[in-house]
A = this chain, B = another copy of it.
Amino acid sequence: MHILIVGAAGMVGRKLTDRLLRDKTLGQQAITALTLADVVAPVPPGGEADGPAITTVTVDLSEPGAAARLLAPRPDVVFHLAAIVSGEAEADFDKGYRINLDGTRSLFDAIRHEAARQPYRPRVVFTSSIAVFGAPFAEKIGDTFLSAPLTSYGTQKAIGELLLNDYSRRGIFDGIGIRLPTICVRPGLPNKAASGFFSGILREPLSGQPAVLPVSPDVRHWFASPRAAVGFLLRAATLDTARLGDRRNLTLPGLSATVEEQIEALRRAAGDRAVALIRHEPDPTIARIVAGWARDFDAERAQTLGFTAETSMDEIIQAHIEDELGGRIGL
């Protein structure tokens, strides 16, 4: 089995790569080849002698011919994780539409053209986002709620979902779109994303560093760990898509929690000293952005289809301590 990861250099892409190399199989099939593609050069992971053949490709999907070259080896499974993030897609109209819309469409069309040459119907797993939803919404968003995004990023993801559904309906490929919750605890350095603090207020104190909380502790949001995200991708790559019917885009399960619940879970994991490292510095701009975000979902379809996420903030923190801190709190 040949697996292609587009967007392999990103955080989720790297974690997925590591997991596939560890598992050596996907859905009981041996992984023989792994192609890691991204607009920045993916770092080739340390392969093992008996592991899959690893190829890294630096590619901009929106460039003519790029997607066709990437698809020519006819991978069996394509993970399409590549995207310009929300803030950048909002700041740079052309770049957002070029990468997130044209890039996605190029990839899908490359499969279509490859299939026209010779029968070919890969599984395509597309990571969408809860940014396809925009306020006003009910406290809990169900599986039949409209996509009315409030950002260009959300718009581009919603369009990707529609294309994926239509191409799948027409039999061009076997697609599934998954709306990831906000990933928490996101490893690495603090970033400037408006959602960054949801991870920062846990990640920094767990490493003995100070963190800033820019919103009220009663803000509620929708979370899953990086470990759960990788689990979602594997589930999406292997489930029987006949069960999706004509609706191939899913809101995934997650944990709805308030910032206060995050802080109390941090206290249980690392004590008052960790909590004391959080400084509350209200930022009206971030508060306003966050107010437009979804707080809770009823992800019934995805749950029925076997997607699982953490059910407590304690589990989410524990996953971070195990996967990123070698099991030890750095406090």
Partner of A93, one of B144, B155, B170: B170
List of B residues within 8 angstroms of A159 by Cβ = 159, 162-163
Please, how many angstroms separate the alpha-carbon atoms of A150 and B155 in the complex? 20
Partner of A158, one of B112, B145, B162: B162
Q: Decide if A246 is an interface residue (CB 8 Å cutoff).
A: yes
Flag A136-180 by CB within 8 Å of B: 1 or 0 each. 010000011111111010010011001101100110000000000
Please, how many angstroms separate the alpha-carbon atoms of A264 and B145 in the complex? 37
Please, how many angstroms separate the alpha-carbon atoms of A247 and B112 in the complex? 33
Closest chain B residue to A292 by CB distance? B246
Please, how many angstroms separate the alpha-carbon atoms of A132 and B247 in the complex? 13
On whether the beta carbons of A169 and B150 are closer than 8 Å, the reply is yes
Partner of A146, one of B147, B150, B169, B170: B147
On whether the beta carbons of B162 and A149 are closer than 8 Å, the reply is yes
Partner of A147, one of B93, B149, B162, B246: B162
Please, how many angstroms separate the alpha-carbon atoms of A125 and B148 in the complex? 18
Flag A68-102 by CB within 8 Å of B: 1 or 0 each. 00000000000000000000000001000000000
List of B residues within 8 angstroms of A162 by Cβ = 147, 149, 155, 158-159, 162
A3 to nearest B CB, angstroms? 27
Using known A-B contacts A146-B144, A146-B147, A246-B150, determine if residue A166 contacts B170 with beta carbons closer than 8 Å.
Answer: no
Closest chain B residue to A148 by CB distance? B247
Q: Tell me how many residues of A have a C-beta within 8 Å of chain B.
A: 24
Q: Decide if A134 is an interface residue (CB 8 Å cutoff).
A: yes
Please, how many angstroms separate the alpha-carbon atoms of A169 and B148 in the complex? 11
List of B residues within 8 angstroms of A169 by Cβ = 150
Interface centre among A150, A152, A155 (most CB of B within 10 A): A155
A interface, CB within 8 angstroms of B: 93, 112, 134, 137, 143-150, 152, 155, 158-159, 162-163, 165-166, 169-170, 246-247
**20 additional A-B residue pairs with CB within 8 Å, beyond A93-B170, A155-B165:** A134-B246, A137-B144, A143-B146, A144-B145, A144-B146, A145-B145, A146-B146, A146-B147, A147-B162, A148-B165, A148-B246, A149-B166, A150-B169, A152-B166, A155-B162, A155-B163, A155-B166, A159-B159, A159-B162, A159-B163
- Between-chain CB contacts (< 8 Å), 24 pairs: A93-B170, A134-B246, A137-B144, A144-B145, A144-B146, A145-B145, A145-B146, A146-B147, A147-B147, A147-B162, A148-B165, A148-B246, A149-B162, A149-B165, A150-B169, A152-B166, A152-B170, A155-B162, A155-B165, A155-B166, A158-B162, A159-B159, A159-B162, A159-B163
